[in-house]
Every structure is written in structure tokens, then in C-alpha cells.
Chain A
Amino acid sequence: DAGVIQSPRHEVTEMGQEVTLRCKPISGHDYLFWYRQTMMRGLELLIYFNNNVPIDDSGMPEDRFSAKMPNASFSTLKIQPSEPRDSAVYFCASSRGGDEQFFGPGTRLTVL
């Protein structure tokens, strides 16, 4: 298996634009997690899904953030409109049964 795949690896956009981050989890994994990592706040759990259903989105910062998982092999995290304070590295991770998590390489987002 290729591991967790994220795209794009880098994204530079201007304030106010819509940003969509994509994730393909490892086949057979039933949990999917979205994290955000910054120097100031460390690693933050934004939302996680179990069997494509959002279970806990309490970490989503505000209504500008939304996440979907239309099927077992694909998830998106959307920010609309984006702001400079959203600049961070966004990680997707998947696991089987909620145990060891396998992380993707991350998407480095810069909002100017």
C-alpha cells in the first residue's frame, strides 16, 4: 500500500480564497483524522470520521472549515474563505479500529 496520500503537498493562496485539501486513507482503515500543526499550538485534532461518518468535529476552529468523507477512500477539508491565520501544515491520518495512526506527508498551506 502507498500509505496515506495527501494533495496538494504545498498550497499558497490569497486571503479570501477557497482552499480544498484532499486525502486518500489506507485501504481497509475505518478511521480518518484531520490535524493541523503550527509552531504556536502544536498538533491539533480538527475532526475525525468512523466509517465515513463524522464523529467529533469539536476541533474545527470555526464555520469557515468543513470536512467531508463521501466514501471510504476519499476525504476533503475545505476552508472558505481562507485567512492568514489558517497558515499551517494540515495532516490526514487513518487507522484501523482507532489504534495506531498512519499519517500522510501533510499539506503546507500558506495564506497571504
Chain B
Amino acid sequence: GEDVEQSLFLSVREGDSSVINCTYTDSSSTYLYWYKQEPGAGLQLLTYIFSNMDMKQDQRLTVLLNKKDKHLSLRIADTQTGDSAIYFCAVNGSYIPTFGRGTSLIVHP
């Protein structure tokens, strides 16, 4: 089945850019997602990208997709303390999305 890998932690200073990386194995993926989980809450969809795109920008968020390397990244510009959360990569391979383990983003002043 699909395998989705993420690093577990990322620590950044407020105002810097954050880059969260994800690798996956299924090259037939059509949709790739980023979800955000705030403390004590469920996951919420943050953004997504179609597999025929290389980049998608949405305000402070930039998603980059390298299909050749099966690598997905999420860049958050001007990271704020409110961005502290767990970020999950999810890949829609065999119709049902497979989630990574999540990257805990810690933003410190």
C-alpha cells in the first residue's frame, strides 16, 4: 500500500519561513493534501494540490510537488505562533487518502 513519510518535528523562529516535507510511494496519486491539527482538535484541510500541478500558492502557503522524486512540501511564509500545530501530509493513491504521521511545528519568539 501507500507509504507516506514526514519528519516528526520542526522548530522555527517567529517571522521565519517554515518548510514541511513529505515523501510518498504511490505515483498514481491524483490529489495530495495538507491538513492541520491544532491542540485538542481534529484535523482540518489546509490546502491541496492536483498531481498535474507543480506549485500552488494560497496567501502565506506554498505547496510544491516534485512528482519525479515523489516529494511534497508545504512552505509557510512569515510563520506566526498561531501556526504552531501538527501538519499532516495525505496522498490519495488507491482512492482513499493515506496520512503521514504528522510534523509538529513549534514556533518560538
What size tier do the contact residues of chain A reach?
10 to 19
Identify which of B40, B48, B99 contacts A43 (C-beta below 8 A).
B99
Q: Using Cβ atoms and an 8 Å threshold, which residues of chain A touch B88?
A: 43
Q: Using Cβ atoms and an 8 Å threshold, which residues of chain B touch A91?
A: 42-43
Q: Are A48 and B96 in contact (CB under 8 A)?
A: yes
Contact with B along A84-112 (1 / 0, CB 8 A): 00000001010000111111111000000
Question: A28 contacts the other chain (Cβ, under 8 Å)?
Answer: no
Seen from chain A, the residues whose Cβ lies within 8 Å of a Cβ on chain B are 4, 31, 41-43, 45, 48, 56, 91, 93, 98-106
Contact with A along B89-106 (1 / 0, CB 8 A): 010100111111110000
What size tier do the contact residues of chain B reach?
20 to 34
A41 to B99, CA, bound (A): 12
A106 to B44, CA, bound (A): 12
A74 to B81, CA, bound (A): 37
A-B residue pairs, 10 tightest by C-beta: A42-B101, A103-B42, A103-B43, A43-B99, A98-B95, A100-B45, A105-B42, A98-B96, A106-B42, A104-B42
